[in-house]
Amino acid sequence: MDYNKLSPQEERVIINKGTEMPFTGEFYKHSEKGTYTCRQCGAALYLSDDKFDSGCGWPSFDDEIEGAVKRVLDADGRRTEIVCANCGGHLGHVFEGERLTAKDTRHCVNSISMDFVPGQKEQAKTETAILASGCFWGTEYYLKKPEGVKSTTVGYTGGHVGNPSYEQVCTGRTGHAEAVKVVFDPTRVSYEKLLKLFFETHDFTQLNRQGPDIGEQYRSVVFYTNDEQKAIAEKLVKTLSEKGYTVATTIEKAGTFYDAEKYHQDYYHKGGGTPYCHIKREVF
């Protein structure tokens, strides 16, 4: 993928995760209406309506465009880094619990990580699907392919332990499933189309396993976020049952989703190769 050419100063921050000096960035006191975009890839990140003056010395936002920003725990576990969901470029860090705005969130962003497009653009409507079908590397591999998918994040959900690690989930004692959160544009790809792809890329008849991966964390689950998604999932399961399949997939209300460690994200995209237990075939 072609990205914008970066200056040495931009590379220091965006690629090497540096930090610009406080109170020096071009967007620190910037108040024009418009959209802040990623300097490396051009993806829209923040709307000016969500920018506020926190007095910290860097541009601050209390919300992001849905699916545009990923959170990654720093190696020391003390802070949460924010990166562009499209290209992985470093933006800054996010903080919660400061009570600076009603949303109680502060995205502290380096000006040098961003560009600005004047004129407030209407934020495109997006929806979120959360699906589990065995090892989340393979699930993500297929679900990030359809046109209209804006971002994918692998993680853990459906369990009873807060902010679990991969090692904890692998014990099978946290109750979590390895899952993928998909943010998509419903005008370009429907939830039903994504759900059909989900069913067609794993063996939904297997209980608590997928191929050689065995355990509750590898179970097949549709985590619905609204009643419409629930109805679509129930319809497709009924269709599969009528075709003679014994469907092991459960349909559960979505709960807290915890992002997995950075090295799990976009695993096959970054390392090459193809899934070992997810194969595309037609079932509908």
Give the active site residues. Answer: 108, 135
**Six token digits for residue 15:** 């690629």
CA 265 to mean position of chain CA atoms: 9
- Those residues whose C-beta lies under 8 Å from the C-beta of residue 88, and which sit 6 or more positions away, are 70
DSSP line for 202-248:
S-TT-SSEETTEESGGG-EEEEESSHHHHHHHHHHHHHHHHTT----
Q: State how far the Cα of 204 lies from the Cα of 247, in Å rounded to an integer.
A: 6
- Distance between CA atoms of residues 164 and 178, nearest Å: 11
Gap between the Cα atoms of 79 and 54, Å rounded: 18
Tokens 């502060």, residue located: 106
Furthest CA-CA distance within the chain = 65
Give the contacts of 231 (CB within 8 A, at least 6 positions apart).
Answer: none
